[in-house]
Amino acid sequence: MNIELTLLLLVVGALAVTWICRRLDVSAPLVLVVVGIAASFLPGVEAVEFDPEIVLLVVLTPLLYSAALESSYMGIRANVRPIGLLAIGLPVFSAVAVGLVAWWVVPGLSLPAALVLGAVVAPPDAVSALSIGRRLGLPRRMMTILGGESLVNDATALTLFRVFVAVAAGTGMTPLSGIGMFLLAAVGGTVIGLAIGWVVHAVRRRLDDPNIESALGLVVPFGVYLVAEEAHTSGVLAVVVAGLYLGHHAPESGYATRLQEQAVWRASDTILESVVFALIGLQLTAVLAQAGPIGPLLVTGVIVTVAAVVARILWVFPATYVPRVLSARVRRSSPRPPWQVPAVISWSGMRGVVTLAAAFAIPAEVPGRETIVFLAFFVTVATLLLHGLTLPTVIRRLGVRETGFQADVLAEAQTQYDAVQAAIGRLDELTEGTESTPHMVQKLRYLAQQSANSVWEQLGRPDSEAGEPPSVAYRRLRREMLNEERSTFVERRDSGAIDDEVLRRVLRRLDFEEAMLSRDEA
């Protein structure tokens, strides 16, 4: 079977499994890993080539960029201290802790090579944790912290990885030069990401062409990554910074650009996340072929996995409470959270594609490479299954839930009311002294008022008690009318009364209106 057909089957199979998991409301990443492992042993299934450079560029880069676009810059800035402790401090602590344990338990593994392993398994992949947390309603601040961690920790771990690989390969790297490399990667990646983000945003504001703007947006993450890597800085961090900048300024773009980009990146995320977890499972046979005798390595794998899990717990609890003990300002700005909050965060340490990509990128000059690759794979699969299967239960048992829904709805409703009043004021300015028909003005006022009322209705009684709210009835009836309009136009196209070009133009208008109806239901 040629590689093109293999990749096609991988994508189609991964999407099929993801669809089934969503229908059954189970965690797709876990099932995909298990299915991938099982598929790797089927007769005729060849090991899929895992090129770390291609995976980092083609898979990790767009996933991080898309996540950054959807992230809240304001939320990350408000939580920069906990995110920094998790995204910078924790990978360093985990790399050293796991490296020391591996140096102790793996016969013949040098300390520099053990630290390479520590850096490889240091960054958690938050895709599974965030999907579980979103489904179970974790508090928004926790989701922001976990999302912010996932955006930056890859850059930290990969920079550590480069430093430790240079030491293990005997290139004469000194501690001072290692710190310099780390700072260059961090500062340089940030500067490049900001600079390219600013330039792209300035260019897009002058294009006034949604298709070109969206096409440019697709090129941005890959261009940012390649430029930053060519400058020997952190391409991952540069992509994240550019994504945060452009996402924060997205309201300044046109509506068509935003709609297109959201659709494109969500579809892209679904494909890449599905494929990457299936790909993790499919690596098993290739890893086993390189590892040699498996028995002793299984015991070592368990020990290293325990070290990675415990290191996160040992870091998260002190990082949560010690700053509040030492600083009155922190205590005032951020109340002490109950112990259940750091417990859930500490149990959200699933590893993913970055760990495997880094492992396969280890050069042959590093002693013990085969052992490191096996242990990295073991930790990845073990943490995905351990945390992924138990995290929902932990969240439910500890009762960590979002409690600010009413406050969010109240703030949205008040802002919506103010916005509608401003819009009506603008309408009055534009129609005063003109020949605008009263009926048209009355209709515009009514639609604006409906927009405001739809949010206030969320604060009222349940539908079972109050009956169907007016805005819900409006959306239901208007959707039926839109469906009837579509059917009429399709019938006229089929009869030859209109051609496909007319049908596509009308369908686009009707689809935009239905999209607005669906947005009001979200």
Q: Where is the domain boundary, 385, 403, 421?
A: 403
Domain match, 375 and 411 both:
no
Contact 304, 375 (CB under 8 A): yes
Domain match, 106 and 80 both:
yes
pLDDT in the model for residue 343:
93
In a domain, 222, yes or no: yes
pLDDT in the model for residue 314:
95
pLDDT in the model for residue 223:
94
In a domain, 456, yes or no: yes
Alpha helices in 327-437 (DSSP H): 328-333, 340-346, 353-360, 369-398, 405-431
Domain match, 167 and 247 both:
yes
Counting as low any pLDDT under 70, the low residues of the chain are 1-4, 44-50, 127-128, 171-175, 292, 402-414, 416, 433-437, 450-471, 518-522
- Residues forming beta bridges with residue 351, ordered by sequence position: 124
pLDDT in the model for residue 199:
95
Domain hosting 319: range is 51-403
pLDDT in the model for residue 85:
92
The number of distinct structural domains making up the chain is 2
Q: Where is the domain boundary, 403, 436, 459?
A: 403
pLDDT in the model for residue 92:
93
In a domain, 44, yes or no: no
**pLDDT single digits (tens) 46-75:** 666 667 788 788 888 898 898 888 888 888
CB atoms within 10 A of CB 344: 22
pLDDT in the model for residue 410:
64
pLDDT in the model for residue 429:
77
| CA 346 – CA 349 distance, rounded (Å) | 7
Domain match, 337 and 479 both:
no
Contact 333, 77 (CB under 8 A): no
Domain harbouring 190, CATH code: 1.20.1530.20
pLDDT in the model for residue 489:
82
Contact 117, 102 (CB under 8 A): yes
Domain match, 271 and 328 both:
yes
Domain match, 227 and 314 both:
yes
Indicate yes or no: pTM above 0.85. Answer: no
Domain match, 339 and 446 both:
no
Q: Where is the domain boundary, 403, 425, 451?
A: 403
In a domain, 515, yes or no: yes
DSSP string, 483-519: HHHHHHHHHHHHHTSS-HHHHHHHHHHHHHHHHHHHH
pLDDT in the model for residue 408:
59
Amino acid identity, position 326: L
Give the list of residues 6+ apart from residue 250 with CB closer than 8 angstroms, or none.
69, 258, 261
In a domain, 275, yes or no: yes
pLDDT in the model for residue 141:
83
Give the list of residues 6+ apart from residue 219 with CB closer than 8 angstroms, or none.
none
